[in-house]
């Protein structure tokens, strides 16, 4: 295998590319790869130096807990203490975009930096053939936050990863655009079930299987109720330009991120879903936000207006990400 320089290798997601990526992960290098949600920046979760490299490559200001990815539920559950709720949800939703925060198994070799020193562990089994083949080939927990610079928009295409991390990581395993487009639902099961981050697997779908799920406290982020992770910071997923939500009109200095039909006139428009389909809008969100940010800046526009988006089903997760994109920085 070739050695790693400051050049990032762009690998095809063929068996050979996957084998090379797995080798790099096993030797402590950083490799970006597709999951069904967004591209992740992977490192061997049992190698503290490799995991520290994730924070350095992302420019993440502090060590926030990362999700460990596994090829199977059995592999995931050897590192934590799943209760009956975790097993029911794993049966129903894995592989898939659900992350479970569980008590960590005392014998787990996952490095403590991976979970930011917490005694819990976030685990997930992604539903993407390349991710699963890579995880099976590495045969160890892979820590992977979204493969973007800290605070920026999550990548849903390999070219987004290149724009964010070229020259900072060993390799990018290049697959096509991701299907879901929003990060996984994060559910805390270390006590009464609590939704830490909304995603495409809804609170409703989870409650149907395990009963009531609390929402993260509205006061989270205050000193009394500190935030538990980066996806929970108020300002996140931020484009360069300021974002204005629930826009029914567009000012001359604004570009429009639209949804549905009958949109107000705008000098620059990208539509998340002309037919008003929330799943399509979720899959397009980060790519179109990124493009609009770039194109608007090139055209001398100075802000992004966003059409109202319904808050049911995955619309809740879309609004969650947009609210963070629009938060004061």
The dihedral sign for the CA sequence 210, 190, 139, 133:
positive
Residues at the site binding Mg ion, with contacts judged by CB under 5 A: 146
Number of residues that bind ligand TXA (CB under 6 A): 31
CA–CA–CA angle 273, 200, 220 (5° rounding) = 110
- The 3-state DSSP composition of the chain as helix, strand, coil percent (nearest 5) reads 30, 20, 50
State in angstroms the smallest separation of the CB of 101 from ligand TXA. Answer: 4
State in angstroms the smallest separation of the CB of 231 from Mg ion. Answer: 5
135 binds ligand TXA (CB under 6 A): no
Q: Of ligand TXA, Mg ion, none, which one sits near residue 273, judging by CB under 5 to 8 A according to partner kind?
A: none
State in angstroms the smallest separation of the CB of 200 from ligand TXA. Answer: 9
Q: How far is CA 318 from CA 100, 237, 261, 282, 309, in A?
A: 20, 11, 18, 6, 8
State in angstroms the smallest separation of the CB of 164 from Mg ion. Answer: 11
Residue 80 sits at φ, ψ, to 5 deg, of: -145, 180
Contact window for ligand TXA (CB under 6 A) among 105-113, 134-142, 183-191, 245-253: 183-191
Residues of span 70-129 touching ligand TXA by CB under 6 A = 97, 99, 101, 115, 118, 120-122, 126
Residues of span 193-232 touching ligand TXA by CB under 6 A = 196-197, 228-232
CA–CA–CA angle 10, 15, 21 (5° rounding) = 45
* Tokens encoding 111: 């490095």
The residue at minimum Cβ distance from Mg ion is 146
Report the C-alpha gap between 199 and 226 in whole angstroms.
21
The residue at minimum Cβ distance from ligand TXA is 229
Q: Of Mg ion, ligand TXA, none, which one sits near residue 47, judging by CB under 5 to 8 A according to partner kind?
A: none
Which of 46, 184, 271, 284 binds ligand TXA (CB under 6 A)? It is 184
Report the C-alpha gap between 140 and 313 in whole angstroms.
34
146 binds ligand TXA (CB under 6 A): yes
Contact window for ligand TXA (CB under 6 A) among 17-25, 58-66, 280-288, 293-301: 58-66
Q: Which is nearer to Mg ion, 164 or 254 (CB)?
A: 164
Q: Of Mg ion, ligand TXA, none, which one sits near residue 163, judging by CB under 5 to 8 A according to partner kind?
A: none
Q: Of ligand TXA, Mg ion, none, which one sits near residue 239, judging by CB under 5 to 8 A according to partner kind?
A: none
Closest by alpha carbon to 259, among 244, 281, 286, 279? 281
DSSP-derived pairing of the beta strands 214-215 and 194-197: parallel
State in angstroms the smallest separation of the CB of 152 from Mg ion. Answer: 9
Q: How far is CA 138 from CA 22, 79, 141, 313, in A?
A: 5, 16, 8, 35
State in angstroms the smallest separation of the CB of 213 from ligand TXA. Answer: 15
Residue 202 sits at φ, ψ, to 5 deg, of: -80, 160
100 in Cβ contact with 209 (< 8 Å): no
Residues that bind ligand TXA (CB under 6 A): 35, 37-38, 40, 64-67, 97, 99, 101, 115, 118, 120-122, 126, 144-146, 183-184, 186, 188, 196-197, 228-232
């Amino acid at each position: 295998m070739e050695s790693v320089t400051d050049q990032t290798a762009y690998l095809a997601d063929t068996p050979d590319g996957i084998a090379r990526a797995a080798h790099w992960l096993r030797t402590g290098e950083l490799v970006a790869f597709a999951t069904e949600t967004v591209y992740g920046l992977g490192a061997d979760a049992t190698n503290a130096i490799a995991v520290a490299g994730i924070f350095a490559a992302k420019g993440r200001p502090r060590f926030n807990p990362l999700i460990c990815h596994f090829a199977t539920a059995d592999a995931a559950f050897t590192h934590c203490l799943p209760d009956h709720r975790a097993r029911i949800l794993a049966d129903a939703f894995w592989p898939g975009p659900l992350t479970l925060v569980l008590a960590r198994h005392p014998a787990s070799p996952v490095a403590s930096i991976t979970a930011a020193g917490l005694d819990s562990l976030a685990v997930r089994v992604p539903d993407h053939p390349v991710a699963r083949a890579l995880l099976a080939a590495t045969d160890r927990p892979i820590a992977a936050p979204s493969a973007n610079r800290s605070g920026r928009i999550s990548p849903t295409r390999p070219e987004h990863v290149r724009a964010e991390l070229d020259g900072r990581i060993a390799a990018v395993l290049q697959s096509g655009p991701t299907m879901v487009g929003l990060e996984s639902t994060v559910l805390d099961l270390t006590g009464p079930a609590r939704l830490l981050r909304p995603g495409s697997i809804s609170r409703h779908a989870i409650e149907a299987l395990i009963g009531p799920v609390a929402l993260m406290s509205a006061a989270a982020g205050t000193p009394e109720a500190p935030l538990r992770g980066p996806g929970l910071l108020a300002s996140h997923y931020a484009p360069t330009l300021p974002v204005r939500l629930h826009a029914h009109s567009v000012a001359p200095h604004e570009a429009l991120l639209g949804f549905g039909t009958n949109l107000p006139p705008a000098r620059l428009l990208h539509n998340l879903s002309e037919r008003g389909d929330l799943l399509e809008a979720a899959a397009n969100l980060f790519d179109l936000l990124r493009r609009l940010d770039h194109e608007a800046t090139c055209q001398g526009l100075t802000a992004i207006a966003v059409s109202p988006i319904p808050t049911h089903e995955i619309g809740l997760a879309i609004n969650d990400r947009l609210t963070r994109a629009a938060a004061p920085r």
